[in-house]
Chains A and B, each alone.
Chain A
């Protein structure tokens, strides 16, 4: 008679030292395995000297393991950055800078920064606001801004020459442009959403968009511009980072000039690049030179701007 094979279930019973049901022929095997189980030692052996010392004064291992993880991550990130080329490193740094500016600007506007940082942010915004409030002449800025900007933008090629030749027109245009800028900035720094500020900003933006890519003015526009650029895969990188840096520098220069000229009783004009002046991006070198001499924005054609 052929013997039946041991199934998995029967094997489990045998390994536990029990005889499977209906398999009396396996009783001896089960008893032998039970003997092996029974003789297994129950007392721990004598630990070695090293282990005895370890048992006496164990070393905590949880904290050490937890601390290793972040270091490993940072090391990995540093290694990956180190593997990049010089251009890639610059691009990565520019992207981080741009994103950081966007993040800080948005958080500051929302009042979400930590208390000390929020105070600094508010001080900066307040300083800008006070400066531009002082230089604002409402009668000059309202109404004329849109016309001036639209006019400049519509006549993309020849307008610059015409306005440059006609001194009065240019002066008026300057006033209009700076008025627009200040009002836009005011609206931004105030945080107000009144119709005047919005309309002026819109008009300026629309007008300049027809001519060249809009340039940011004031904190709000600058933040929005950086934010848009940071989300644009075509812009993120070294060039955009440079553009951000240049524009930030120019804005700072404008503010400084405003402050200095305000002390001379000026009406707030006489600063550098303005968004409304982007229409001067036309390729007129004369106009550019003239504007540059007067500290006007016409000398900032597309080069150096995004």
Chain B
């Protein structure tokens, strides 16, 4: 590990220890460092209230902080594991109530005021969100966690409870699907900004 990596690891360890001891500044630091990615992940995966969901996730994180042992990467997996479960709960609840489960911004008639629209605003690029939103759910989970949450294959496997080989296969298939979607010969309606021509 590099000196920079060592310093980062030490810094995280001190912040974690302080947060576990009940230091307000340390908990705020953890929130500021991880909440944006959690909110982006929640929004990209179709949460109606990604901010509220992020707050709920961190309430659980702080409740369980005393039992956590590990480095920054492990903590990131820890946080996103909780976020993923919370998100699944929300999607399942909405599914039972008959709400839309999948995120299809272009096909959603309530698009103007929907949570997907807010999520797109958060991401700042409707096209980017749509790119991921058309993927099957399991591939979308992997792509969002890898791109938006910036997790490694191992971390994604830990969050989703899958084997690393399965995660790699899912991301390969997702990339192949995206490539076909972005292929100029097969997607004539794609945005011009994506075109190389």
Question: Is A166 an interface residue when CB atoms closer than 8 A count as contact?
Answer: no
Q: Considering only CB atoms, which chain A residue lies closest to B54 in the complex?
A: A45
A14 touches B175 (CB 8 A): yes
Question: Is B88 an interface residue when CB atoms closer than 8 A count as contact?
Answer: no
Question: Is A6 an interface residue when CB atoms closer than 8 A count as contact?
Answer: yes
The segment from A49-57, A142-150, A258-266, A288-296 found at the interface with B is A49-57
B196 touches A45 (CB 8 A): no
Q: Considering only CB atoms, which chain B residue lies closest to A39 in the complex?
A: B124
Given the interface pairs A15-B147, A50-B59, the reply to whether A36 lies near B131 with Cβ below 8 Å is yes
Question: Is A87 an interface residue when CB atoms closer than 8 A count as contact?
Answer: no
Report which of A8, A32, A65 forms a contact with B67, defined as CB distance below 8 A.
Answer: A65
Query: Which residues of chain B are near A11, meaning CB under 8 Å?
Result: 168, 171-172, 175
Query: Which residues of chain B are near A40, meaning CB under 8 Å?
Result: 36-37, 40, 123, 148
CB distance from A106 to the nearest CB of B (A): 39
Chain B, residues 124-163, CB within 8 Å of chain A (1/0): the string is: 1101110110000000000000111010000000000000
Question: Is B11 an interface residue when CB atoms closer than 8 A count as contact?
Answer: no
Query: Which residues of chain B are near A39, meaning CB under 8 Å?
Result: 123-125, 128
Report which of A33, A42, A48, A65 forms a contact with B52, defined as CB distance below 8 A.
Answer: A48
A29 touches B175 (CB 8 A): yes
Q: Considering only CB atoms, which chain A residue lies closest to B126 in the complex?
A: A39
Within 8 A of A (CB), among B28-81: 28, 31-32, 35-37, 39-40, 50-52, 54-56, 58-59, 62-67
B194 touches A47 (CB 8 A): no
CB distance from A68 to the nearest CB of B (A): 9
Q: Considering only CB atoms, which chain B residue lies closest to A62 in the complex?
A: B20
B51 touches A28 (CB 8 A): no
A29 touches B179 (CB 8 A): yes
A55 touches B28 (CB 8 A): yes
Q: Complex Cα distance A58/B15, Å?
A: 13
B55 touches A47 (CB 8 A): yes
B62 touches A54 (CB 8 A): yes
Query: Which residues of chain B are near A15, meaning CB under 8 Å?
Result: 146-147, 171, 175
A37 touches B179 (CB 8 A): no
Residue pairs across A and B with CB atoms within 8 Å: the count is 135
B125 touches A35 (CB 8 A): yes
B32 touches A44 (CB 8 A): yes
Q: Considering only CB atoms, which chain A residue lies closest to B58 in the complex?
A: A51
Given the interface pairs A44-B31, A60-B22, A62-B66, the reply to whether A5 lies near B176 with Cβ below 8 Å is yes
Question: Is B24 an interface residue when CB atoms closer than 8 A count as contact?
Answer: yes
Question: Is B122 an interface residue when CB atoms closer than 8 A count as contact?
Answer: yes
Q: Complex Cα distance A62/B196, Å?
A: 55
Q: Considering only CB atoms, which chain B residue lies closest to A47 in the complex?
A: B55
Query: Which residues of chain A are near B122, meaning CB under 8 Å?
Result: 41
Q: Considering only CB atoms, which chain B residue lies closest to A64 in the complex?
A: B66
B31 touches A60 (CB 8 A): no
B32 touches A36 (CB 8 A): no
B59 touches A32 (CB 8 A): no
Q: Complex Cα distance A46/B56, Å?
A: 12
Q: Considering only CB atoms, which chain A residue lies closest to B195 in the complex?
A: A28
CB distance from B49 to the nearest CB of A (A): 10
B27 touches A54 (CB 8 A): yes
Q: Considering only CB atoms, which chain B residue lies closest to A42 in the complex?
A: B36
Given the interface pairs A8-B168, A32-B128, the reply to whether A61 lies near B65 with Cβ below 8 Å is yes
Question: Is A113 an interface residue when CB atoms closer than 8 A count as contact?
Answer: no
Closest A-B pairs by Cβ, 3 of them: A61-B66, A60-B22, A48-B55
| Extra 20 A-B pairs, beta carbons < 8 Å, given A48-B56, A58-B27, A59-B22 | A26-B179, A29-B175, A29-B182, A35-B125, A36-B129, A36-B147, A37-B150, A39-B124, A41-B36, A41-B123, A45-B55, A51-B31, A55-B27, A55-B31, A57-B24, A58-B62, A61-B20, A61-B65, A63-B66, A65-B66
A residues near B (Cβ < 8 Å) are 5-8, 11, 14-15, 25-29, 31-33, 35-37, 39-48, 50-51, 54-65
Interchain residue pairs with CB less than 8 A apart (20): A11-B172, A25-B179, A32-B194, A35-B125, A39-B128, A40-B123, A44-B32, A45-B39, A45-B51, A45-B54, A45-B55, A46-B51, A48-B55, A51-B55, A51-B59, A55-B27, A58-B19, A58-B24, A59-B22, A59-B62
